[in-house]
Structure 1
């Protein structure tokens, strides 16, 4: 055995181990999360997902087909937790999310080999071992790239939801002050705006009306599913208005004002952080300019 054969032997051993682990995974007992399984089989969840699937036309999307195949075939449950709340907020089906992950991984696996072929065409020989290792590394990194994208988009969506929710609470307060009932005030306020936040709340209120569920319970469930504590506060306030007949106009206006104050403080903190980051290049330019001025004098002193 020579030194050049060692990388190929290591690669062969890694591939054999990967094959054995895949075979053992196929025969191992399935570990089913009972809570998530029952949640997926619930009537409300099934109808909601079916409705979203019909509106988005998911059957015609290649990523959806790839994602369903991956969920049936690959051990995706062992590769990290699924950001279910973020996906629910963005209305991205789980199978489409996994299809995007697999597609990104395939692209990451192909790029190093495409670069190797390109380098070979211009006369630069790249060892196959480095291409394989680069493919495995890049494929692994790109497999987890959709997780970052989903969490980043969900964080932006939550900020937008908070800003729109403050306006929605003001509208509900005005409707309650005008004499509308709790459900009527919430439904009228949801129908005024055309933003996706108002449409999402309106859909939940309409679903609660047809199912006979109190509207505040529907908003509480939506808050738990999407990870929106501000919506849970609104649900609690409206519960007091609906069940105990409490006057909640002042409470609603105070809640919307506190949300706007918190949003303003967050925006100011973000602006201050951006300003501090912008001062770093200016400070660096100042140091470089001072170095240019001082360097000739130092060189003359050292030369003398």
Structure 2
């Protein structure tokens, strides 16, 4: 029974880790999956489409419920946008994890009951509710952590983007050509987001700085929003916009350097605390025999 209980706990932990950190399949695995679906025929594809439609239905109903309650969740939506993840799919994941957390404690309760531990029926009920609430919140924590790192990368790209625009303006190009040329110099994910926003603005007749402000508002990057407003104010004066972009890039670099120095200071302080704890433990180890001998307990 102990082995079965340990295996069940290990399986639950493994499923939780797999749910929170989904693996990204390689190209060979994707091709093998396509070949397997082709060999199984149209019925397996229909079953897969049916499962996807069920997940989409759950996510759509959850999104409609959030909208009916007036829960906009703008910060969370911005985090999902910068991670390029859908709102409905995220809600489906939250509900699925909450269901897993709700059914895990009763399973453990049954396993303990089979072993011989008879507990009150209220214990698994409260544990199920607590685990469901915890599992429902876990995707939010993961998204906020990943979005914070990705937003920091995006800010660094914006700093380099400002320098490129300023250099293009110094070379004699106009503002629209300078912005588009700076957005075409790299193929990283952040530059692609900027380039896609500028391309959509050109097709829709929107100004580039308005597109940059809208993109910054969607992704939750305040520096990009401020950049769009600053370009809109000084778009007619080439010298002023060039100086403004250069000074803004310098300010962003100094802020990033200050954040890096602050993180380094925190890490140094944590290492100092760890060293102090280690020295304290070593001193206690050295002094403890003498204290025992003096007190006469030995």
TM-fit CA distance, 1:72: 4.5
The higher relative CO (CA closer than 8 Å, separation ≥ 6) is in 2
1:219-234 matches, within 5 Å, as: 219-234=212-227
Partner of 1:217: 210
Select 1:272's aligned residue among 265, 272, 275.
265
Q: Is the aligned partner of 1:113 residue 2:106?
A: yes
Select 1:66's aligned residue among 58, 66, 70.
58
In structure 2, relative to structure 1, the CA distance for the partners of 1:80 and 1:202 (3 Å cut) is closer
Q: Is the aligned partner of 1:130 residue 2:112?
A: no
TM-fit CA distance, 1:173: 1.0
Partner of 1:92: 85
Q: Distance in 1 between matches of 2:205 and 2:72?
A: 38
Aligned-residue CA RMSD (Å)? 2.6
Partner of 1:8: none
**Cα deviation code 1:248-296 (max 9, x no counterpart):** 3333222212211111110110111012112222211211111111111
What stretches of structure 1 of length at least 5 have no aligned partner? 1-56
In structure 2, relative to structure 1, the CA distance for the partners of 1:88 and 1:267 (3 Å cut) is same
Asked whether the equivalents of residues 235 and 241 of structure 2 are also in contact (C-alpha less than 8 Å), the reply is no
SS in 2 for 1:193: coil
**Cα deviation code 1:13-61 (max 9, x no counterpart):** xxxxxxxxxxxxxxxxxxxxxxxxxxxxxxxxxxxxxxxxxxxx9x947
TM-fit CA distance, 1:228: 1.6
Q: Distance in 2 between matches of 1:74 and 1:114?
A: 31
Asked whether the equivalents of residues 63 and 103 of structure 1 are also in contact (C-alpha less than 8 Å), the reply is no
Aligned residues: 247
SS in 2 for 1:127: coil
Q: Is the aligned partner of 1:295 residue 2:288?
A: yes
Asked whether the equivalents of residues 175 and 238 of structure 2 are also in contact (C-alpha less than 8 Å), the reply is no
TM, length-normalised to structure 2: 0.74
Q: Distance in 2 between matches of 1:263 and 1:88?
A: 23
